[in-house]
Amino acid sequence: MIIAGNHRILNKLIAGLLLSVLLLLSSVSFAQENDDLLDVLAYNSSRSTRPPVPEGDFQSIVIPIKRVQNLMMVEATIDGQEGNFILDTGAPHLVLNKTYFRRGKLSDGTSAAGITGAGSTVYHLLIDSLVISGLSYHNVDADLVNLGHLEDSKGVQIFGLLGANLFNELEMEIDIRSNTLTLHRLDKDGNRRSGSGNISSVPDLKLPLEVMNNIIFINGAVAGKKLRFCLDTGAETNVLSNASGNKVLEQFELQSRAALAGSGVQKLDVLSGRLKELTLGAGKFSNVPFILTSLAQLQQVYGISLDGIVGYDFLSRGLVSINIEKKELTMYYYKGEE
């Protein structure tokens, strides 16, 4: 996990949870101990960014999702360079891989460190254009970091991450079974201009969202204790804080132990297992996969209490719509996922 050394101003995060647990146990067997896990990646900065404005002649647009294991990527073009970008609501805004974008300037007031040691330096770049199918943005603030270790792990080129503030004025509809991301334009009340589409008018699950500094949170409960989770489309597995309390940890069934290898020389132990029951709104989910580890550094970055992260394991249960403007998530369960 990379976090900035400047803790005086935390109200602007560059990429908190950049891939949250993007690589944590995506290719690791839970049957034995393993020392090859990569670090959670996150960092912050005091630099402010301008809200990007979506442009294009569409009411709704369907964008193919490329799947690499449990990682969701889409094709996008930045200043003429086309490549794969991670769909990552755990990042507040656009983040670029400095392997392919080298014109950036060092971000003022930002130093970087990792949860397991020293991390990468953060650079800033203003790009002319970002094009995702028929959707485009101009003059977008971005940050440059080294994502080479992610590329090596996945065996694909990763040009960057598409963070949450790119979708502030759009509703995101994620259909993992059909591998599509549908973006809907919104009216002044935050409703789709194109109407409700071809889905039921009554969702199986509706959750209010908390949006702080372009990071999305949802509230849940385990064993009756209320918990706050970061909603991260870039997380390939869920994460639970080991400081959640005995009442919660009693519901965690351990399956294996592994070591988290990060940007520093030290390693951090993480435990993999399942939560017997997780409540999100009116939904109750059983035997949910989770990683158990410390989130103390991440809480320091956010400046708020944080109990965990929910990602692919949750999003794969149904057709999910994320409306940041209305601060609302809805889900229509896939058959067999109720």
Closest by CA to 89, choosing from 234, 186, 203, is: 234
Is-contact 310 218, C-beta < 8 A? yes
> Which residue has 């101990």 as its token pair?
33
Digit-by-digit pLDDT tens for the chain (338 residues) are 332 333 332 333 333 333 333 333 333 333 233 333 333 344 444 455 678 999 999 999 999 999 998 899 999 999 999 999 999 998 888 999 989 997 766 555 444 433 344 455 678 889 999 999 999 999 999 988 888 888 888 899 999 999 999 999 999 999 999 999 999 999 999 999 976 555 667 999 999 999 988 889 999 999 999 999 999 999 888 999 999 999 999 999 999 987 654 434 455 678 999 999 999 999 999 999 999 988 887 777 667 789 999 999 999 999 999 999 999 999 999 987 66
pTM here?
0.83
Q: Give the separation between CA 74 and CA 85, rounded to whole angstroms.
A: 5
Q: For residue 303, is it left (φ>0), alpha (ψ between -120 and 50) or beta?
A: left
Helices (H) and strands (E) counted in the chain, each on its own, are 4, 26
Closest by CA to 218, choosing from 292, 88, 314, is: 314
